Structure 1
Amino acid sequence: GTQYQDVTLGESGFYDYARGYDVATGAVLDDSTWINVFDPQYGNIPPASEFTYAASPDSTTEDLGLYINDQISVGNWRITAGVRFDDTETNSGTSSQSDDAVSTSVGALYQFDNGLSPYVSFAESFDPVIGTNGRGEPLEPQEGEQWEAGFKYQPSDFPAMVTLAYFDITQSNLNDPSSLVGEYQQKRGEASITGVELEGIVFMGDLSLELNASQLDTESAEGYRLASVPERQASTWLTWRPGGFEGFKAGAGIRYVGESWDGIDQLRTPSYTLGDLMIGYQTGPWDLTLNARNVADKEFQATCLARGDCFPGEARSVVGRVRYQF
């Protein structure tokens, strides 16, 4: 038979934003004015008369979204479809901007009796961009389209699940300063992201093993690789829950993050590999867990930007968590 699952929902948002800043006018900002984070000396502050305070007008954004999703089961077919309407309005104090769009999504999956389920899907996105193009014209909203195809496999005689997906994403209405000489901002640029993702989990008695890997190929509106987006990533995580010691759990994992670029293909951030550990105990509604990330306290650069600066990666961190589930 045919089964329908309809959900109609609405949402709204209200955002209020204000900012201000001080600008040094006549002060001589020599080395004594700055704070050395390794040897801080406080109190050497230029007089307030040397600063000019500037405040931007308040900016208010209201968003209303209405959407409907439908999931249909016909035999071995699983079909999903949805449509969404967004309406946003922003008042910056000096100007107002209104944007609206209709976004759609659709997908189909077929479940074979052997546990293999190929699928394909399509989805659209809408993201308002507040501001003008330098000529007093509001910026067009950024839009996106994603095609995805792949398969899920869950064997009937073995506790495992594998998903392999290929996706192709196009982002449009992006800034593209190289398209027209003399233009401040244009909305004709397009960026593309294509990639392959592999996810898997397998249960082996007291052990469970998770595997994840991805390969991305990105191109910005200017023809460069997207900034700070690793081309390759992979991770694995092993969890142990011994049957003879109910409630105890321990885990270990490895994360690999491939090299990334600065947005203009000049500065390369090298790849790095990190290790993580976990230990915990769960009894009744209580869950106590201790997580350690980057257990070797490895020093690495997380990302480097085109302007020339790099950001160090997260040092070793140990976080304890106590959770009570009602």
Structure 2
Amino acid sequence: MSQRYPAYYANALATPADGGANHYLFRDDWYGAYFQDHITLWDKVHILGGGRYDWARTGVGIGDSASAAAALPSRRDEGFSPRVGILYQPWAWASIYGNWTTSFGANNGVTTAGTTINPEIGEQFEAGVKTEFFDQRLSTTLAYYHLTKENLMTRDFNSPDAFANAAIGKARSQGLELDMSGALTDELSIIGNYAYTDARITQDFSGLQGNRLNNVPEHSGSLWLKYDIHHYEPLNGLSFGLGIFAAGQRQGDNDNTFILPGYARLDAFASYTYQLGKSRLITQFNIRNLLDKTYYESTDPFQNAPPRVGIYPSAPLTAMGSMRLEF
């Protein structure tokens, strides 16, 4: 199987003094082929194996005309990303698993010297335990992961070139994740998760080794209560829930010169499922930031401005509705 993700954009930027227009072009051509297989042995061991091979061509440029910007620096990259996982289930209520995978991502940017940037390469190890108790009414997963990435592209705000990029040599993220879901009654359920994340720059060419990655909280988690109505006609199919999401302090930049404060946000939802023969019509209404609190989510994820002047405040109370048909 193959996939292609082409993109070719031309955007007019600020008008120069001579009345012309600058054009900024961004191009991606991406092909990939992948395979995967799942093997079960003795009804207790599950082995998953696969891989993906990618071919990518990227380019970016700026000029006083679209044709000039089209003569942009470009590069071709390719790489293979294997994936292996194993799960052992010694008892019906418990299983142990582990997996290893790598990733490949082409970087579309140029440095202040006009050179292109090598692709981003990632590697992840994960191991954990899954359990089910009380006739599968309570499910938990506890996992440890270790993830490294090389050549993370970021804006170079030290360069006079407003579009210059730089690559962080290597970054590492490791931590623990706990997920839990359970049925307290036939109609009331609980869903929660907690994550401890230690994300740091481990290799860099500008003295950032040991610094924490920006916008990554060390502690984060959420807790939801959900109520499904099953036995009260005509309300059968109605569900509603209330949840809280919390994130701890985060570094505002990779230089670790300022900190974004932690926050907690209250969300809610309501949905109704209507059976249409063998199909289901599901309508849902979500409210984010129910208490309309002001907090700061992150610095600019698109890196259009230096972090200290590109801090994103929270969105106010936001409501969104959706409808989908399952058949």
TM-score range, shorter chain: 0.7 to 0.9
Per-residue deviation, residues 46-98 of structure 1 (Å, max 9, x unmatched):
xxx7x541124x55432111111111111111111112111112355324311
CA contact (8 A) 2:110 2:166 kept: no
Corresponding position of 2:180: 200
Q: 1:309 to 1:67 in 2, by over 3 A?
A: closer
* C-alpha displacement of 1:155: 2.9
| Count of aligned pairs | 288
Counterpart residue type for residue 32 of structure 2? G
From 262, 273, 293, the counterpart of 1:271? 262
Aligned counterparts of 2:228 and 2:59: Cα–Cα separation in 1 = 55
Aligned counterparts of 2:311 and 2:151: Cα–Cα separation in 1 = 29
Per-residue deviation, residues 151-178 of structure 1 (Å, max 9, x unmatched):
111236341211111111111134699x
Corresponding position of 2:297: 302
SS in 2 for 1:298: coil
Counterpart residue type for residue 251 of structure 1? G
Q: Point out the more displaced range, 163-172 or 213-222.
A: 213-222
2:41 corresponds to 1:74: yes
CA contact (8 A) 2:109 2:165 kept: no
Counterpart residue type for residue 51 of structure 2? V
Aligned counterparts of 2:154 and 2:270: Cα–Cα separation in 1 = 49
Per-residue deviation, residues 83-127 of structure 1 (Å, max 9, x unmatched):
211111235532431111111111111012242111111110111
Per-residue deviation, residues 24-50 of structure 1 (Å, max 9, x unmatched):
53xxxxxxxxxxxxxxxxxxxxxxx7x
Unaligned runs of 5+ in 1: 1-8, 26-48, 178-183
Counterpart residue type for residue 83 of structure 1? G
Q: 1:91 to 1:176 in 2, by over 3 A?
A: closer
Corresponding position of 2:192: 211
2:214 corresponds to 1:234: no
Corresponding position of 2:123: 145
Corresponding position of 1:316: 317
Q: Point out the more displaced range, 163-172 or 312-321.
A: 312-321
Counterpart residue type for residue 313 of structure 1? S
Per-residue deviation, residues 186-221 of structure 1 (Å, max 9, x unmatched):
767110101111111101311111011101011124
From 243, 246, 254, the counterpart of 1:256? 246
Corresponding position of 1:21: 13
SS in 1 for 2:22: strand
* C-alpha displacement of 1:23: 3.6
Q: 1:188 to 1:248 in 2, by over 3 A?
A: closer
SS in 2 for 1:295: coil
From 48, 54, 73, the counterpart of 2:22? 54
Q: Point out the more displaced range, 107-116 or 145-154.
A: 107-116
Per-residue deviation, residues 262-304 of structure 1 (Å, max 9, x unmatched):
1221221111111112223222133232222211111112224
Aligned counterparts of 1:239 and 1:160: Cα–Cα separation in 2 = 14
SS in 2 for 1:286: strand
Q: Point out the more displaced range, 160-169 or 94-103.
A: 94-103
From 266, 282, 289, the counterpart of 1:287? 282
Aligned counterparts of 2:273 and 2:48: Cα–Cα separation in 1 = 37
Sequence identity of aligned pairs in percent? 27
CA contact (8 A) 1:176 1:189 kept: no
CA contact (8 A) 2:16 2:22 kept: no
Aligned counterparts of 1:176 and 1:277: Cα–Cα separation in 2 = 35
Please report the RMSD computed on the Cα atoms of aligned residues, expressed in angstroms.
Answer: 2.5
Unaligned runs of 5+ in 2: 61-69, 156-163, 300-305
Q: 1:238 to 1:308 in 2, by over 3 A?
A: same
CA contact (8 A) 1:296 1:316 kept: yes
SS in 2 for 1:307: helix
Q: 1:81 to 1:116 in 2, by over 3 A?
A: same
TM-score, normalisation: structure 1? 0.80
TM-score, normalisation: structure 2? 0.80
